[in-house]
Structure 1
Amino acid sequence: MAVSALTDNPAQQGRWRKPGPAMVATLPLLLFLLLFFVWPLIGLLKQGFYVQGQFSLDNFLHLWDTPIYRIVLQNTFVIALSVTVGCIVMSYPLAWLMASVRPGTAKLLFFAVLLPFWSSALVRTTAWIALLQQNGVVNSLLMSSHITEQPIAFLYNFTGVLIGMIHVLMPFVVLPLYSSFRSMDSTLLQAAQSLGADSLSIFTRIILPLTRPGAVAGAIIVFMNAVGYYITPSLMGGPGQRMIAELISHNITDELNWSIAAALGLVLLLTTLLSLWLFNRLFGLDKLMAGSSGKGSQSVVVTQRSSGGRITVAAGILVALFLILPILIVIPMSFGTANFPTFPPAEYGVRWYANFFSDRKWTAALGESVRIGLMVTLLSMVLGATAAMGIHKLRSPRKSWLETLFIIPMSVPAIITAVSLYYLCGPLGLINNSVALILGHTVLATPYTYITLRAALKGFDPSLELAAYSLGASGWQMFRRVMLPALVPGMVGGAVFAFVTSFDDVVMSLFLTTIRNRTLPKLMYEGLAFDFDPTVISASCVLIAATAGILLAQGLIKRNGGKYAATAR
């Protein structure tokens, strides 16, 4: 990145703006993705077109003719659509409430959204399992209040999958909806109310049309994630809720049927790419990398005093509690001493924390996760930064194609990328030494570092660069004193995204590690899937604390980076 900046001076500006040098800067990430994303993907998916070494479409016909596969495909789309609709319905009152309250209250609501958003999906699934089990908090409250006389089966059915997946994916709708509400002109609502419009008319004729882009964008992202989801359905669902990702895993690990797994993978991949294409057609992928321009409306939606407004406020508060309470309740549960987690614990202690920090398998898994996370962060920052600088300077029709390739890995379901790398790296012996996992995590993490740095570069004022050169600054001085301070927030954000993406991953760890080098999320998954270990609850709280610490450190670094930038200028 520094080299790119150093070459961008008036004497070399014309040469740098030619495609050659800019393309060179994008080559590391391009070659990396071709080798460890595109090539493994092609190698796996082509297996779906072969039967006993002969080209055939029989595998796809088998998916259609076999009832179990048809049922699973139907389950996948029904669950994904249900989760998408649920996320939209529940996100509207919360996003409206966030945009209509005072800034201090809005910060609390943002905390309720962002803490689950940044917490591992496995942690959130763990929390819901503890809450929804037969002797969990929810059933205890229902029975103690005499609403029910016996426990309700919330887990291992459609209800459990719906609750778990909505909780994980809803922030993807809340955040774009909040932006839509913030950009809305509040005088339209006041005018409609003054003309006698009721709450329903205001919502259907003003709010819904103006916020539809944010809702649609969030819905597409949720659907893309939901169709390939693996962890929550496998832990909170039953046999009737099996989805494509779980069936892919079953065909590889249990049946050793790579052809059917590849055929299922292609169906899942095409569904995801179709959703990504739709997002691109409606909004453009460049929306993901838009830098902050500092423009736009700063108006705040005015809280309506009608009965509909009060109902919306109540609904928004309930949705915020839905997001934050599972994580907050699981914390005191982790301090219980019983062999099974309860809330509130009958007796408090640190029994399971002591087990977590004293048991060799837990500490080894934690150390492995940290080690791999740091290596992935370094690799993804180098690849993402050089690619972002190259694309920023590139003036070529190939730019849009390169950007699409750089972003696609974050949209492809992790199960497909994991199985593809397993297919490539297994015969090479790269599973036992974590090389395959580092490669896989880097494939997943680099798009996030690329996007954050592209956004930072788009928000960088080029006149500052020209002014520095006009005052006689060298390329290195310009980069160190002008460009670097402006890029620090993007670099910090990209590094945090990369580390958290690696540290929280479960799916790739299941396929690309062994019992000797398994990560903490994989060990937690085993503790939930096979024989419930209360240490998992304590491990979840350790991850929550680590996530909160990372976010706090990111905020402090950004603040200091802003002060440094102001001083440097």
Structure 2
Amino acid sequence: MPSWLLIAPLVAIFAIGFLYPLIKLMALSFTGGPSATYGRLFTDPLYLAVLANTVGIAFAVTLGCVLLGYPVALAMARLKGRLALAIAACVFIPLWTSVLIRSYAWIVLLQRRGVVNSFLMETGLTDEPLKLLYTQGAVVLAMTHVLLPFVILPIFSTLKLLSDDYTRAARNLGAGPAKAFLFVTLPLSLPGVFAGATMCFVLALGFYITPSLVGGPGSMLMANLIGQQTTVLLDWPFAAALSTVLLVMTIVFIIVFRKTLSFSKGLNSVH
């Protein structure tokens, strides 16, 4: 049997389920002429601000997930026994919980009479409730919590495959624990960092539920803007243009991330 017959069903599903809708979406974005859709996007300061805000929040969430997730992944890979199982449970249980429930949990924590404000007022740190909910900080915090497992797991899988012989060899050559980590463990774990950061950034660019619930109407991201154009204003051509720009921007950032990290031998090892 020719090898192409084995992948024919997958190719057919990919073409019907992804390529065809994508081509139709791009064609719809040119309805009425590029100036009516793309020109409107790049000339209106409001839409450019939403685009910049989306990229900025995605970068902040990705950076926060990497900084918080790497130590957790390292602990999961190095520790054994019940402690390792406890850390793994803290990672997997939120992953199995609905995003909607986790987003509502942040509303309970951050609202004016929520857990955080009640604690601050009872301890005398503040005299009145702080505005924690419906802010950019709340959006970044909640999205970081939701997307953190998607960064931890790729880094953990890479660290788990690394042999301890590399670290022992570095220590035997005179390197301290910090130096062995910076020059041996960290470079070799960059494939997992790249995979987790890329997945987190792509998901953050198109996040919809959490910004809508935690950020409110004042925190508009591209996904929320696209939803507004399709469900409220029924402007499908402009929504298609927004979606196309978001897709192209995602591909560009993935290429940039890959080129930026290609200096690492650990990353080159996956080519």
Q: TM-score, normalised by structure 1?
A: 0.42
Q: How much has 1:43 moved relative to structure 2? A: 2.3
Q: How much has 1:218 moved relative to structure 2? A: 0.6
Structure 1 residue 113 and structure 2 residue 91: aligned? yes
2:193 to 215, 232, 244: 215
CA contact (8 A) 1:158 1:241 kept: yes
Q: How much has 1:241 moved relative to structure 2? A: 2.5
Residues 35, 150 of structure 1: alpha-carbon distance in 2 compared, 3 angstrom cutoff: same
Residues 204, 20 of structure 1: alpha-carbon distance in 2 compared, 3 angstrom cutoff: closer
Structure 1 residue 138 and structure 2 residue 122: aligned? no
Structure 1 residue 41 and structure 2 residue 41: aligned? no
1:175 to 148, 153, 158: 153
The secondary structure found in structure 2 opposite 1:170 is helix
CA contact (8 A) 1:177 1:211 kept: yes
- Please identify the structure whose Cα radius of gyration is greater: 1
The secondary structure found in structure 2 opposite 1:181 is helix
Structure 1 residue 122 and structure 2 residue 97: aligned? no
The secondary structure found in structure 1 opposite 2:24 is helix
The secondary structure found in structure 1 opposite 2:125 is coil
- Residue 31 (structure 2) aligns with: 50
- Residue 268 (structure 1) aligns with: 246
Partners of 1:210 and 1:234 lie apart in 2 by: 38
Structure 1 residue 158 and structure 2 residue 136: aligned? yes
The secondary structure found in structure 2 opposite 1:126 is helix
Deviations 1:235-259 (A, max 9, x none): 1114443111110111122222122
The secondary structure found in structure 1 opposite 2:189 is helix
CA contact (8 A) 1:94 1:174 kept: yes
Q: How much has 1:195 moved relative to structure 2? A: 6.6
Q: How much has 1:223 moved relative to structure 2? A: 0.7
CA contact (8 A) 2:167 2:181 kept: no
Q: How much has 1:280 moved relative to structure 2? A: 8.7
Partners of 2:166 and 2:3 lie apart in 1 by: 48
RMSD: 2.7
Q: Count matched residues.
A: 261
1:95 to 56, 62, 73: 73
CA contact (8 A) 2:102 2:146 kept: yes
Q: How much has 1:185 moved relative to structure 2? A: 3.3
Partners of 1:148 and 1:185 lie apart in 2 by: 50
Partners of 1:208 and 1:149 lie apart in 2 by: 45
2:49 to 71, 76, 80: 71
Residues 280, 206 of structure 1: alpha-carbon distance in 2 compared, 3 angstrom cutoff: closer
CA contact (8 A) 1:49 1:259 kept: yes
Counterpart of 1:44 in structure 2: which amino acid?
Answer: L
Deviations 1:279-319 (A, max 9, x none): 89989xxxxxxxxxxxxxxxxxxxxxxxxxxxxxxxxxxxx
1:226 to 198, 204, 209: 204
> Pairwise mapping of residues 17-36 of structure 1 onto structure 2 (< 5 A)?
18-19=2-3, 21-22=5-6, 26-27=8-9, 30-36=11-17
Partners of 1:37 and 1:223 lie apart in 2 by: 21
CA contact (8 A) 2:74 2:159 kept: yes
- Residue 243 (structure 1) aligns with: 221
- Residue 267 (structure 2) aligns with: none
What residue ranges of structure 1 are gaps of 5+ in the alignment? 1-15, 284-569
The secondary structure found in structure 2 opposite 1:50 is coil
> Pairwise mapping of residues 489-500 of structure 1 onto structure 2 (< 5 A)?
none
Partners of 1:135 and 1:193 lie apart in 2 by: 52
CA contact (8 A) 1:217 1:279 kept: no
Residues 204, 147 of structure 1: alpha-carbon distance in 2 compared, 3 angstrom cutoff: farther
- Residue 461 (structure 1) aligns with: none
Partners of 1:186 and 1:254 lie apart in 2 by: 56
Percent pairwise identity? 39
Partners of 1:48 and 1:172 lie apart in 2 by: 32
CA contact (8 A) 2:229 2:236 kept: yes
Q: How much has 1:187 moved relative to structure 2? A: 4.4
Q: Which has the higher contact order (CA 8 A, sep 6+)?
A: 2
Partners of 2:158 and 2:6 lie apart in 1 by: 35
Residues 199, 138 of structure 1: alpha-carbon distance in 2 compared, 3 angstrom cutoff: farther
Deviations 1:100-151 (A, max 9, x none): 2222211111111011112211111111111221222222223333333332
CA contact (8 A) 2:31 2:237 kept: yes
Residues 190, 240 of structure 1: alpha-carbon distance in 2 compared, 3 angstrom cutoff: farther
Residues 251, 197 of structure 1: alpha-carbon distance in 2 compared, 3 angstrom cutoff: same
Partners of 1:92 and 1:150 lie apart in 2 by: 36
Counterpart of 1:134 in structure 2: which amino acid?
Answer: R
The secondary structure found in structure 2 opposite 1:124 is helix
> Pairwise mapping of residues 130-529 of structure 1 onto structure 2 (< 5 A)?
130-190=108-168, 192=170, 197=175, 200-274=178-252
Counterpart of 1:142 in structure 2: which amino acid?
Answer: L
Partners of 1:90 and 1:47 lie apart in 2 by: 41
The secondary structure found in structure 1 opposite 2:156 is helix
Q: How much has 1:99 moved relative to structure 2? A: 1.7
Counterpart of 1:63 in structure 2: which amino acid?
Answer: L
Q: TM-score, normalised by structure 2?
A: 0.85
Partners of 2:125 and 2:96 lie apart in 1 by: 34
